[in-house]
Amino acid sequence: MDLDLDPYAVLGVSSRASDEEIHSAYRSIARSLHPDAKPDDSAAAVRFAQASEAYELLHDPVRRRAFDLARAARQGPRPARSAPGPTGNTTVRGPSARPTHAPRQAEPPIGASPAPGRDELAFLFGFFKVIAVLVVFFILAVVIVSLNPAPYCGPGVSSPCRPNPSASSAGSIGP
């Protein structure tokens, strides 16, 4: 098909037309411009051939998508609307255009408390980590204390102490 002719304009439908609309537009043009209906009109035969090519292009979804992409690349970005659309949006593109979807919620600022019910699992995980570290330190302290023997009993040593083996054998009177 000639790239200068727009197949949508040839069939008289919009670029958003469904397959059924394209088919019915082609059928009505084919009935009115068919060479059998107007055997003496050469312009009608040319328009019928253009309509047939346009229908062949737009009937195939792959070829239609390729044509639409190529047409969009040639035409560039869509212009801004001059009147509000159905959503009240007057600008289609650019920084002043409103988004077509709901914007994401902003993250809370640093230091702000999170939303309730959000980080209970993280809090519990951190709490159990602290408990595990405290248990490990307690076990280490018990092991260190049990390995360090108590001092020998003697003058100036208060209880708890252990008896001095050399003093007990020297002070005892044997038989």
The reply to whether 23 falls in a domain is yes
Six-digit token pair at 24? 């019915």
- Quote the pLDDT of residue 122: 81
- Quote the pLDDT of residue 113: 64
- Quote the pLDDT of residue 135: 97
The reply to whether 27 falls in a domain is yes
Where do we find the tokens 């595990």? 132
- Quote the pLDDT of residue 56: 92
Query: At residue 121, what is the residue type?
Result: L
DSSP of 75-133: H-SPPPPSS--TTS---SSSTTPPPSSPPPPPPPPTTSPPPTTSSHHHHHHHHHHHHHH
The reply to whether 122 falls in a domain is no
- How many other C-beta atoms can be found within 10 angstroms of the C-beta atom of residue 87? 8
The reply to whether 119 falls in a domain is no
Which residues neighbour 36 within 8 Å (Cβ) at sequence distance 6 or greater? none
Domain of 60, CATH number, reads 1.10.287.110
162 forms beta bridges with 152
> Which secondary-structure segment (H or E) carries 142?
helix 120-147
Which residues neighbour 35 within 8 Å (Cβ) at sequence distance 6 or greater? 44, 45, 48
Tens-digit pLDDT string for the chain (175 aa)? 545 678 888 888 888 889 999 999 999 988 888 888 878 888 888 888 899 999 999 989 999 999 888 888 777 665 544 455 555 555 555 555 556 566 666 666 676 665 655 567 788 888 999 999 999 999 999 998 888 777 777 777 676 777 777 755 554 454 4
The reply to whether 65 falls in a domain is yes
- Quote the pLDDT of residue 169: 52
Q: What is the DSSP letter of 162?
A: B
Nearest one of 46, 42, 47, 43 to 26, comparing CA atoms: 47
The reply to whether 127 falls in a domain is no
Total count of domains within the chain: 1
The reply to whether 131 falls in a domain is no
Q: In which domain, by residue range, is 37 found?
A: 7-75
- Quote the pLDDT of residue 104: 66
**CB–CB of 78/91 below 8 Å?**
no
Q: Give 67-91 pLDDT, tens digit per residue.
A: 888 888 777 665 544 455 555 555 5
- Quote the pLDDT of residue 22: 92
The reply to whether 22 falls in a domain is yes
- At 18 the three-state DSSP class reads coil
